[in-house]
Amino acid sequence: MEVDRVLRPGGYWVLSGPPINYRVNYKAWQRPKEDLEDEQNKIEEIAKKLCWVKRSERAEIAVWQKTMDSESCRRKQEDAGVNFCESSDADDVQENGGLRYPKLYAIPPRIASGLVPGVSSETYQDDNQKWKKHVNAYKKINRLLDTGRYRNIMDMNAGLGSFAAAIQSPKLWVMNVVPTTAEKSTLGVIYERGLIGIYHDWCEAFSTYPRTYDLIHANGLFSLYKDKCNAEDILLEMDRILRPEGAVIFRDEVDTLIKVKKIVAGMRWDTKMVDHEDGPLVPEKILIAVKQYWVVDGNSTSTQ
């Protein structure tokens, strides 16, 4: 299921070694033939549920392909009663989040059931509308958002996942990060929307292997961490995980963004402060930043 999550539609999964070709190799592997047979049968069964197609099996190598319409295929299987996992804990997002289907704007079950304190169906819908409005404003400020220029996107303070839903496109994907210091635990909601995400404390380093990001969204992040750790440390971590010529969208109170702008100027980021889409009297502002590509040449630093 984790391989399926990170694998693009049409991509391939290659399995080399046990249990493939167990009939020939079970003695060399020093494992019971029956155990290896059972292991391969389980792999074959799960691959079928995931709507993968087995393309080849030769010697100790087998190849499956994730179909281009795997989501549609799995919806049909779900309607037919095919289940992938069960959990008795409604908040067990590690398990329940594995194979949700994209239901971006349906009311998530845990919100409908009142399991997220302070979030009702009405406030959830209002949040969606708000972020559609915000993203439309972003697209007017940065016209590259719709071009496919930014494929790997991170939302550092994802909330209910409404930014990811509003910007959703086949050209991109969003890693939704719920800070451990956030007022509400919303990662389960994000999973139920068919999105992906993770908990993280931004006072610590973020594991980015095997990728960096083209665009980072930071809504209210520096107000959230104001008394918890230094803004410089968070910004340096953002600089590390952002690709050269990648962009950052900050949304926060104007006083906070002025401090952020001063710090990133020393990091050789280009910045532009923009008023809230409702006008200049709104204290919340938008700061757009672009990380420049620069290299060290001898004793001098040059920007290309």
Whole-model pTM: value is 0.67
Q: Is the pLDDT of residue 174 over 80?
A: yes
pLDDT (mean) for 103-132: 93
Residues 22 and 133 in one domain: no
What's the pLDDT at 83? 62
Does a structural domain hold residue 182?
yes
Residue in this structure with the two tokens 């990662």, named with its chain if needed: 187
Do 126 and 275 reside in the same domain of the chain? yes
Neighbours of 215 (CB within 10 A): 24
Kindly report which listed range (4-13, 82-91, 259-268) carries the lowest average pLDDT score. Answer: 82-91
Backbone angles phi, psi at 176, to 5 degrees: -90, 120
Reduced to 3 states (helix: H, G, I; strand: E, B; else coil), residue 63 is strand
In a domain, 280, yes or no: yes
Residues 48 and 114 in one domain: no
pLDDT number for residue 298: 57
Query: Which of 33, 49, 66 is the last residue in one of the domains?
Result: 66
Q: Are residues 168 and 56 both part of a single domain?
A: no
What tens digit of pLDDT does each residue of 8-36 get? 888 899 999 999 999 998 899 899 999 99
CB 23 within 8 A of CB 39: no
**Unique residue bearing structure tokens 């303070």:** 157
CA dihedral 203, 100, 151, 181 (to 10 degrees): -10
In a domain, 171, yes or no: yes
Which pLDDT score is estimated for 202?
A: 97
Domain boundary among 14, 44, 66: 66
Lowest mean pLDDT among 71-75, 86-90, 111-115, 189-193: 86-90
97 domain-assigned: no
Let me know whether 6 and 116 are in one domain. Answer: no
Which pLDDT band, with edges at 50, 70 and 90, does 74 fall under? confident
Residues 117 and 257 in one domain: yes
| Strand-pair partners of 291 | 269
Do 62 and 167 share a domain, yes or no? no
CATH of the domain at 201: 3.40.50.150
The chain-wide mean pLDDT, for the chain, equals: 87
What are the helix (H) ranges across the chain?
Answer: 2-6, 22-25, 33-49, 70-79, 93-96, 109-112, 121-141, 162-167, 187-192, 221-224, 231-241, 254-265
| pLDDT greater than 60 at residue 97 | no
Please choose, from the candidates 271, 274, 272, the residue with its C-alpha nearest in 3D space to the C-alpha of residue 292.
271
More confident residue, 70 or 240: 240
Q: Considering the domain boundaries, does residue 45 fall inside one? A: yes
Q: Are residues 48 and 196 in the same domain?
A: no
Claim to verify: residue 234 and residue 183 sit in the same structural domain = yes
* pLDDT at residue 100 is higher than 50: no
Q: Residue 241: which pLDDT band, with cuts at 50, 70 and 90?
A: very high
Looking at the domain assignment, is residue 129 inside a domain? yes
Q: List pLDDT tens digits, range 118-129.
A: 999 999 999 999
Is residue 125 one of the residues assigned to a domain? yes
| Residue 302 maps to a domain | no
73 CB neighbour count, 10 Å cutoff: 15
Mean pLDDT of all residues in 169-181: 93
Domain with 29, as residue range(s), is 2-66
Report the domain count for the chain: 2
* Shared-domain flag, residues 23 and 164: no
What pLDDT was estimated at residue 93? 41
61 and 156 assigned to the same domain: no
Percent of the chain with pLDDT over 90: 70
What does the pLDDT read at residue 171?
85
Residue 102 pLDDT grade (very low, low, confident, very high; cuts 50, 70, 90): very low
User: What is the share, in percent, of the chain residues with pLDDT greater than 70?
Assistant: 87
Ranking 103-107, 116-120, 129-133 by mean pLDDT, the lowest is: 103-107
As a whole number, mean pLDDT of residues 242-262 equals: 96
At residue 300, φ and ψ (nearest 5 deg) are: -120, 160
Q: How confident is the model at residue 104 (pLDDT cuts 50, 70, 90)?
A: confident
Same domain, 129 and 277: yes
